[in-house]
Structure 1
């Protein structure tokens, strides 16, 4: 029955892609319903551990946003980009990468994309170059963020295998950072120069291209304080997760496990931001980061549950088919994760659905860590929110989706960045693990 059930899974994912956004989670629920009632498959585990982390982190970020912290960070980013505009293709991904690492969500890129597009236009730089690699960097950085649900989940299942939370970050951060820098270097030569692009010239002639200039930032009273509190929360998470790890052992037999600790710390930080910055908590519910985060929770709920239901029902068949393949060609795990993430549309959902199965098949911890960045291939289908936002914000028309769907501005920078991340992941993995 594996073939018809696999068809149901693929059809559910296709339906989710058609619905888009939160609809991906809805379609995952439809898939679980058909598998359980139609094929009598036992339901897999609902990914509450991943969802609770996303919810808590997003709550703290939304509180910081309402307090003015996000606007303050964007103003710092704009100042940096305008100070060194010639290096925008290198600085733009650095900005989105760092913001994602700090926030644990790539949706922070939304606020910086308009700045990147404007600075690029002002300098006569083809906007598709910095915009494409910036969007890719915001996605890959999820696999290097200390508070992202994907990282925390993978660290949890790798710890019994001898890889600590700190060890995972020690490989993920340098490998993805170096990969994005090299990818940015190559991206800087993609496409025609802006002045030679016929689409841009046509839009310019029609008066469809405009420059807004530097934005005026009005700092709220508690903006800096909210950012400082959020950073304290991240440091607390990293310190505590390291202290309770078996490798460090500063705290033995902890009362508060790592997942619960992250939730507690983030909710506490959200409370402190609301109290010290006088945040109207009613406004948090309508914050853009809160909405996108809660949408992500539903997506993970449906898709990861669907994946876990299918994998657990056929783990023996999967072991027979993929066990020898992954033993002889461990890099194939990265390929599997790459294509799975294009359909599952979430780093956390892909990690939750496939990484436990990969470890059960005998994949080494080093291979799992090195291949981890491949769960970030959310750019392949040109329907991801940050990707679409970058296309919309570039009125020069250089950041575009081609006639054949896959020939868009993000496919080369993204694929290159993931390939390099995996290669460097194996290099740093053998050095540090």
Structure 2
């Protein structure tokens, strides 16, 4: 039966990948239906808190977007990129990393990708180089963002192991950021120089390479205000989580646990933005970030539920098969997370589906934190939205997907970044924990 049940899980994931986007969540629910009513398994645990945190954070981000806050951040990013355009391959991942770290979602990269491509073209730099590592940085920064669902979920698991929220951030932020710089170094040697690329020359001859209009729309006066409100909310989250932690203990027996505090602070931020920036709350529902965030909720619901249903039903067999292997070779957890995330398309869903099992199998907190960045291998299959957006926005043709699926410009810098992050994660975990 275990073989049949595993085939159901794999079939659901394959179907979801074929459907694309929110379809992975739909198919996850179908898989749970087959496993429970069809094959008699008990349903697994639904990651309700993670879903609620995603909803709360996205509500605040979408309100900030309606107020013009995201465009204000993009304008700042453009000034940074143009301040030293020849170093765009290193500046681009810094920009997308910080924006994701700040917002808790990699979808903020959508707004900066056209700027990155344009700056690269102006300098005669192959756009695929900064675009590839910028996309990877926007994904891996999820595992370092104080308000991302993946970090909150991971932190909750680590609390039972005696590792606090701040310790997790102190390891993940420097490890992932430095790893992005390693990926940028690798990316700058990928592909031919732009002037030597025959596809670029052909597109140039046919007038298919355009110049972006640098005259942006005027921002509303509320743009800066909305960013400030959101930033204050993030600082409040980090401060409160530190204050109630066992290590600091400024607030003993808090009436508001950390996860609930994140939801409260984010919804309060959304309320403040609506009041003080005078936005039309009806427009929040139409914001691109709101739609992508709600899609993420469905994906986490379906995939994480499917994974937990299968794993919890066969935990003893899984322990017998792989428990000793992970204890002897803890770095193998990173490989498992890497291959799982390339199919699940979500850092939070991969974390929810596999990390509880890893801890049950005896993986140490140090190994789990070091391997955490490997849940960001969303760039492997060229189907993730930000990756596809980068391909579409590069009209030079340098950012293209090869006929063998995996031979695209995101693969090598991405693998280099995740590998470096895992290695650095073990180093920082050994120092901090």
**TM-score category, normalised to shorter length:** over 0.9
The corresponding residue for 1:141 is 141
The corresponding residue for 1:402 is 402
- Establish whether residue 105 from structure 1 lines up as the match of residue 102 from structure 2: no
The corresponding residue for 2:270 is 270
- Establish whether residue 257 from structure 1 lines up as the match of residue 257 from structure 2: yes
Q: TM-score, normalised by structure 1?
A: 0.99
| Contact map agreement 2:186 2:416 (CA 8 A) in 1 | no
Rounded Cα–Cα distance in structure 2 between residues aligned with 1:83 and 1:239: 33
Rounded Cα–Cα distance in structure 2 between residues aligned with 1:49 and 1:317: 28
Rounded Cα–Cα distance in structure 1 between residues aligned with 2:16 and 2:88: 35
Rounded Cα–Cα distance in structure 2 between residues aligned with 1:341 and 1:352: 11
The corresponding residue for 2:64 is 64
Give per-residue Cα distances to partners, 1:378-407, cap 9 Å, x unaligned: 011110000000000000010011101111
| Contact map agreement 2:190 2:409 (CA 8 A) in 1 | no
The corresponding residue for 2:4 is 4
Give per-residue Cα distances to partners, 1:199-231, cap 9 Å, x unaligned: 101111111101124232412110000000000
Rounded Cα–Cα distance in structure 2 between residues aligned with 1:142 and 1:212: 29
Q: Secondary structure of 1:323's match?
A: helix
Rounded Cα–Cα distance in structure 1 between residues aligned with 2:213 and 2:122: 8
| Contact map agreement 1:109 1:135 (CA 8 A) in 2 | yes
The corresponding residue for 2:195 is 195
| Contact map agreement 1:75 1:217 (CA 8 A) in 2 | no
Q: Secondary structure of 2:249's match?
A: coil
Rounded Cα–Cα distance in structure 1 between residues aligned with 2:344 and 2:265: 29
| Contact map agreement 1:274 1:281 (CA 8 A) in 2 | yes
The corresponding residue for 2:430 is 430
The corresponding residue for 1:334 is 334
Rounded Cα–Cα distance in structure 2 between residues aligned with 1:217 and 1:55: 29
Rounded Cα–Cα distance in structure 1 between residues aligned with 2:295 and 2:216: 31
Q: How does 1:375-394 map to 2 (within 5 A)?
A: 375-394=375-394
The corresponding residue for 1:354 is 354
The corresponding residue for 1:85 is 85
C-alpha displacement at 1:83, in angstroms?
1.6
Give per-residue Cα distances to partners, 1:84-134, cap 9 Å, x unaligned: 100100000000000000000000000000110111111100000000000
Q: Secondary structure of 1:101's match?
A: helix
| Contact map agreement 1:338 1:376 (CA 8 A) in 2 | yes
C-alpha displacement at 1:167, in angstroms?
0.2
Rounded Cα–Cα distance in structure 2 between residues aligned with 1:366 and 1:283: 43
The list of structure 1 runs, each at least 4 consecutive aligned residues, that deviate by more than 4 angstroms after superposition, is none
Rounded Cα–Cα distance in structure 2 between residues aligned with 1:143 and 1:92: 18
Q: How does 1:109-188 map to 2 (within 5 A)?
A: 109-188=109-188
Q: Secondary structure of 2:160's match?
A: helix
Q: How does 1:300-379 map to 2 (within 5 A)?
A: 300-379=300-379
Q: TM-score, normalised by structure 2?
A: 0.99
- Establish whether residue 52 from structure 1 lines up as the match of residue 55 from structure 2: no
Q: Secondary structure of 2:253's match?
A: coil
How many residues align? The count is 433
Rounded Cα–Cα distance in structure 2 between residues aligned with 1:246 and 1:2: 41
Rounded Cα–Cα distance in structure 2 between residues aligned with 1:203 and 1:66: 36
The corresponding residue for 2:299 is 299
Query: Mind listing any 5+ residue stretches in structure 1 that lack a counterpart?
Result: none
Rounded Cα–Cα distance in structure 2 between residues aligned with 1:217 and 1:232: 26
The corresponding residue for 2:31 is 31
Rounded Cα–Cα distance in structure 2 between residues aligned with 1:216 and 1:146: 31
